[in-house]
Structure 1
Amino acid sequence: MKFFILYFQRHLSDTDLLSCCTPCGTGCEGGFPLEAWRYVIINGICTGGRYRQKGVCKPYTFHPCDYHENQTYYGDCPEHIWQTPKCEKSCQRGYPVPFKKDKYYGLSVYDVPSDEKAIRREIMKFGPVQANYFVFEDFQYYKNGIYEHTEGDFVGGHSIKIIGWGVENGTNYWLIANSWNTDWGENGYFRMVRGKNDCLLESMVYAGLMMV
């Protein structure tokens, strides 16, 4: 058995996880990131990609929609939460690899210390990390720049991917990949102030290693 930790490049199926991981939570209504990692370690996860993408086992189930203000690229979003897809133990038609042989498994999952330097070391050594943070009303109006919570009530929790860091005009920031389409924020990304544990971002960081 070989471990390829640093250069795992496959796109894995969010649909496979969303539809089949019962312990992960309530499907499209939210869930628990650590349970998702544990599911991948025990059950594996197949390849995935964008909506209707070919050449992968399970592409994304839902079409992109125009949720954000003044955006016209996508079609309209429904007025309700999407229904969680049925768990299918098979790949899309025409994909040549059997479902069970298309599975990739996690090796481990662990907490990253709540320390800005430790988080940067983890990213430098192994790549992007997963993080949760508290969302407040002012985040919903984010367009660009470095976000730092200043006002508004608590809205809920959110899980994202920290991919790097930087400094702009003397302000340290994290570079973060969001999941709200590329027409949101800075081409689908946003920056959050670094080193202040803003919105408890630096207190809820996880990392995992994949096995091939």
Structure 2
Amino acid sequence: MNAILWMLLLAPVPLMAQPADALSDDFIAFINKKDSIWTAGRNFPKNTTTADLKRLVGDKEAISYDTNSFDVRDRWPNCSDVISIIRNQGNCDGSWAFAPVSVMTDRTCIETEGQIKFLFSPEDIMTCCKRCKYGDDGCSGGRTLQVWNHWRIHGVVSGGDYNSKHGCKPYNESWSPKCNFNCTNSKYNTSYDDDKRFGRSFYRIDEDVYQIESELMMHGSVIAIFTVYSDFYSYQKGVYRHLAGQYVGNYVVRILGWGFDDGVPYWLCANSWGKDWGKLGGFFKVLKGGNECGIESKVMTARVTRRISAREKLVNPNSTSSTHRFIIRCHVAVVEISVLFSIFANKLF
């Protein structure tokens, strides 16, 4: 009898099972019986479904990655071929257009799960976005913020590198200020207006390593304004940091990921000086975590939308006439004036 009593006393006590329904009274009581520093209670009606709760925070598959390294090409292998493209701006200060169109290309592929591999044209931006460029030609620098805005409002057509015969408007080292509202590639079968694709929104990323990493991991490549010193021209491999030479200017690059090289943290970046620059096929690594050459302070990117913008629905989207373009521009002007008026009104009142 005593032996049986001792066996009952020493037998393990079964743990209380966790209730399955996260909004049930039992589950709330289960939480409050825990040794916790917070209190649970009812915030949602009892008839709230699991699907309703998931919509509040999203129902996305968790992404696992090695925090020591990341490459957008590995994250989205079906877009690796277009993301790996290194553009060549030639003898022209055109990085302000080349880096954004590369990100447009990357993100269009990523957001369509590899279904659309559309090589955006820097030529189209450098000749047709007057607010983007400094001076009359496209090779004297430009404003990346206006590039994103131009993509959102007016759209950008396709176009490959110099003499590539790829897309609507291949690159032509845009010293000419003239904007051509037709495809310059005579062998391309799509009209200029029909070829345009549009961005949805653009935004800056905080000067924070984890914010930049998160953006890369969730949505793909970004651009960064990078301060160039004369020693950068001689970069071959390894993790770049400024050591010698004078300030040259600001340059826009594409960030694709991060990693460690012999224990040194770096951002993996893409140049637009062609594949023959350096020993990494046009890519380079720059010191990560200390805002080296301003690489982390001015990071921007954008989201993709469908090919035809809402503004173009005002007229026949297949029309290539000057009247079509005039109506679109008038509507855009009204929208922009309304935005400026709202800003001015807020400052007054």
Same fold (TM > 0.5): yes
* Residue number in structure 2 paired with 1:15: 123
Residues 151-198 of structure 1, C-alpha deviation per residue, up to 9 Å, x if partnerless? 222110000100111111111101100010111022111110111100
Judge conservation of contact 1:146–1:193 (CA < 8 Å) in 2: yes
Structure 2 residue aligned with 1:146, among 232, 239, 243? 239
Judge conservation of contact 1:116–1:202 (CA < 8 Å) in 2: yes
* Residue number in structure 2 paired with 1:187: 281
Paired residues, what number? 191
Tell me the secondary structure at the aligned position of residue 180 of structure 2.
coil
> Offset at 1:150?
2.0
Q: Identity of paired residues, percent? A: 38
Bigger radius of gyration: 2
Tell me the secondary structure at the aligned position of residue 28 of structure 1.
coil
* Structure with greater contact order relative to length (CA < 8 Å, sep ≥ 6): 1
Judge conservation of contact 1:5–1:210 (CA < 8 Å) in 2: no
- In structure 1, runs of 5+ residues without a counterpart are 63-81
Structure 1 residue aligned with 2:146, among 35, 49, 59? 35
1:197 pairs with 2:308: no
1:211 pairs with 2:305: yes
Tell me the secondary structure at the aligned position of residue 296 of structure 2.
helix
Letter of the structure 1 residue corresponding to residue 133 of structure 2? G
State the TM-score, normalized to the length of structure 2. 0.52
Distance 1:55 1:178 in 2: 20
Structure 2 residue aligned with 1:116, among 177, 199, 209? 209
Judge conservation of contact 1:134–1:201 (CA < 8 Å) in 2: yes
- In structure 2, runs of 5+ residues without a counterpart are 1-107, 307-349
* Residue number in structure 2 paired with 1:6: 111
Greater helix proportion: 2
Tell me the secondary structure at the aligned position of residue 295 of structure 2.
helix
Judge conservation of contact 1:61–1:85 (CA < 8 Å) in 2: no
Distance 2:235 2:175 in 1: 28
> Offset at 1:24?
0.6
Residues 4-55 of structure 1, C-alpha deviation per residue, up to 9 Å, x if partnerless? 8624631100100011111112211101111111111111000111223335
Tell me the secondary structure at the aligned position of residue 160 of structure 1.
strand
* Residue number in structure 2 paired with 1:172: 265
Root-mean-square deviation (CA, aligned residues, Å) is 1.7
> Offset at 1:96?
1.2
Distance 1:4 1:154 in 2: 36
Letter of the structure 2 residue corresponding to residue 49 of structure 1? G
Tell me the secondary structure at the aligned position of residue 84 of structure 1.
coil
Structure 1 residue aligned with 2:230, among 126, 137, 148? 137
> Offset at 1:138?
1.5
Q: How does 1:72-151 map to 2 (within 5 A)?
A: 83-84=175-176, 86-91=178-183, 92-151=185-244
Letter of the structure 2 residue corresponding to residue 183 of structure 1? D
* Residue number in structure 1 paired with 2:164: 53
Please identify, of 127-136 and 3-12, the stretch whose mean Cα deviation from structure 2 is larger.
Answer: 3-12
Letter of the structure 1 residue corresponding to residue 293 of structure 2? C
Letter of the structure 2 residue corresponding to residue 38 of structure 1? N
Distance 2:222 2:270 in 1: 10
